[in-house]
Amino acid sequence: MFKPARHGEVGGVSLQRSQQQKPLRSHDRLNLCAEMSHKIVNLRVRDVRFPTSLEQHGSDAMHTDPDYSAAYVVLDTDSGLKGFGLTFTLGKGTEIVLCAVKALAGLVIGKSLQEIVSNFRGFYRLLTSDGQMRWLGPEKGVIHLATAAVLNAVWDLWARAEGKPLWKLLVDMDPKQIVSCIDFRYITDVLTEEEALDILVKAQEGKKQREDQMLKEGYPAYTTSCAWLGYSDQQLKQLCSDALKSGWTRFKVKVGADLEDDIRRCRLIRKMIGPSSTLMIDANQRWDVAEAISWVSRLAEVKPLWIEEPTSPDDILGHAAISKALAPLGIGVATGEQCHNRVMFKQFLQASALQFVQIDSCRLGSVNENLAVLLMAYKFQVPVCPHAGGVGLCELVQHLILFDYICVSADLRNRMCEYVDHLHEHFTSPVVIQDAHYMPPKDPGYSCEMLEESVNRHEYPEGDIWKQEIQK
């Protein structure tokens, strides 16, 4: 078990600000007082929805009218420091996630940050294994989305208490402490605590250079913003040509509703981006296994790097069959945005059912469970290409992939993080993209905080935006 924190430390990490921080505001100085244990005194959760369906942003073969939304959590502490967290939804049903967050609140309120992070594995287990509530999951569905929202807020709080962006908090952590945050239950047959530690210790070599490289160059990204399924060919062409001008070289196209449309749209994009740029296609679970193989074979001429979510996200053996059939065409299978826990990822990896692991910051049980998946992916030598987009997913997952490169994989081959150009303006520390790369965030925290005004305007159903929509 992780050793208890000494006086003046949070979870064994001394309370120091990293070099590249913005200057301290007086408010921060107050919060960073080393004496404070940051006892969580309240948890608030709000239903925040953006009417993205009006313009078909985010549309795909299965989710034709998503309103990008979030269950948005704020943790208040006795020191005045706050933690912000969220989980992503598509509109309807967000109120159910709010209920689940409220059901978990009793396990969080009254605990101090110090208490939580000095036994983070135990706290993760407390939230995911409550003897009554686990029946609702376990570790899947609405209750797990709620766990993600709450734990994301705890990680945000921790990073803020340290005065570091989350990626830097992780990068500076002792490997033993990282491992102490992971619940290895159900995965020890492929990854033991000792093996995880060994991976992290070995990757210490060259860590500083990789961190400097990331600060200078950023992490490579691809864009999904040009080719949502509901966009017209005209729109697609315009967005693609704008993206090319801004330096994008990797593009994802939505497919799966109509084969002839897919062939036309994919040819169009391939022609515009040229043979050396990278193209990926995403069917969002539209097909049965045999249909997936025949449909994607017809699209092989546009040379996609991967087909994403070809079939049910739970069908591990189906994905394995598709992977096997498409391998001779040079097309890999990617999945993960609806892969609900580490056990599923374990089996996908064991069965060679995916060639690209798409972690998700709000689907899995926050940083804790994502760490387990990053380490398993490393063990199986499968590249991680995170799912992002939605609302806030880019802001969050950039921290995890930076950690992955600096402290786990040390490899950029066949790796890139998704980027979607929507709704960043609603965050206090929005992502910074330069030359199609994610630049490492500098503000303390997990980049989850939304502007209060945005939350008020988009809160469902009372916010102005929704009042106007309802009146129409």
Ligand X SMILES: C[C@H](O)[C@@H](O)[C@@H](O)[C@H](O)C(=O)O
Positions touching ligand X (CB under 6 A) are: 58, 60, 63, 66, 90, 224, 282, 284, 337, 387, 389-390, 418
Shortest Cβ distance from residue 336 to Mg ion (Å)? 9
- Partner from ligand X, Mg ion, none contacting 63, C-beta within 5 to 8 A by type: ligand X
Site string for Mg ion, 301-320 (x = CB under 5 A): -------x------------
Given the complex with Mg ion, which of 32 and 420 has the nearer CB atom?
Answer: 420
Nearer to ligand X, 36 or 240 (CB): 240
Tokens of 421: 């150009």
Q: How many secondary structure helices (H) and strands (E) does the chain include? A: 18, 14
Select the binding partner of residue 44 from Mg ion, ligand X, none (C-beta < 5 to 8 A, by kind).
Answer: none
Helix or strand holding residue 70 (H, E):
strand 69-77
Strands 417-419 and 432-434: unpaired
Separation of alpha carbons 458 and 50, rounded Å: 6
387: annotated active-site residue: yes
Q: Which listed option, ligand X, Mg ion, none, makes contact with residue 389 (CB within 5 to 8 Å by class)?
A: ligand X
Judged by CB, which is closer to Mg ion: 130, or 337? 337
DSSP 91: S
For ligand X, the closer of residues 86 and 196 by Cβ is 86
Check if the beta carbon of residue 219 is closer than 8 Å to that of residue 438. yes
Is residue 48 within 8 A of residue 459, CB to CB? The reply is yes
Q: Considering CB under 5 A, how many residues would be counted as binding Mg ion? A: 2
User: CA geometry: angle at 104 spanning 101 and 109, to 5°?
Assistant: 110
With a CB cutoff of 8 Å and minimum separation 6, the contacts of 358 are 308, 334, 335, 336, 337, 339, 384, 385, 386, 387, 418
Strands annotated E in 39-100: 40-49, 69-77, 82-89
Cα torsion 50, 165, 129, 77 to 10°: value is: -80
Least distance (Å) between residue 14 CB and ligand X? 38
Q: Which helix (H) or strand (E) holds 413?
A: none
Three-state DSSP state, 392? coil
DSSP state of 307: E
C-alpha span between 60 and 42 (Å, rounded): 38
State the nearest-atom distance from the C-beta of 280 to Mg ion, in Å. Answer: 9
- Stretch binding Mg ion (CB under 5 A), from 28-36, 51-59, 118-126, 274-282: 274-282
User: Distance (Å, rounded) from C-alpha 302 to C-alpha 226?
Assistant: 17
Binding partner of residue 224 among ligand X, Mg ion, none, CB under 5 to 8 Å per kind?
Answer: ligand X
CB of 408 to Mg ion, least distance (A): 23
Residue 410 binding result from ligand X, Mg ion, none, given CB thresholds of 5 to 8 Å by partner type? none
Closest separation in Å from C-beta 254 to ligand X: 7
Dist CA 1 CA 270 (whole Å) = 52
Secondary structure class of 260 (helix, strand, coil): helix
Out of 156, 282, 395, 404, the only residue in the binding site for Mg ion (CB under 5 A) is: 282
Q: Check 38, 387, 399, 458 and give the catalytic one.
A: 387
Q: Which does 66 bind (CB under 5 to 8 A by kind): Mg ion, ligand X, none?
A: ligand X
**At which residue do the structure tokens 């990680």 appear?**
155
Using the rule CB under 5 A, is 360 a contact of Mg ion? no
CB of 294 to Mg ion, least distance (A): 21
Q: Which is nearer to ligand X, 307 or 374 (CB)?
A: 307
Q: Residue 203 or 243: which CB sits closer to Mg ion?
A: 243
Residue of 38, 164, 168, 254 marked catalytic: 254
| Residue 185 interaction partner, one of ligand X, Mg ion, none, beta carbon < 5-8 Å per kind | none
- Concerning whether 3 is annotated as a catalytic residue, the answer is no
Is the CB of 47 or the CB of 60 nearer to Mg ion?
60
Helix (H) or strand (E) holding 443: none
Minimum distance from residue 9 beta carbon to ligand X (Å): 39
Look up tokens 């090319």; give the residue.
244
In angstroms, what is the minimal distance from the CB of 176 to ligand X?
A: 35
What do you get for the CA distance between the two ends of the chain, in Å?
A: 57
Residue with tokens 């150009």: 421
Nearest to 93 by CA among 157, 153, 49, 152: 49
Nearer residue to ligand X within complex by CB, 11 or 66: 66
Q: CB nearest ligand X: which residue?
A: 58
**Residue 463 interacts with which of Mg ion, ligand X, none, CB < 5 to 8 Å by class:** none
Q: Which residues bind Mg ion (CB under 5 A)?
A: 282, 308
Active site residues: 254, 387
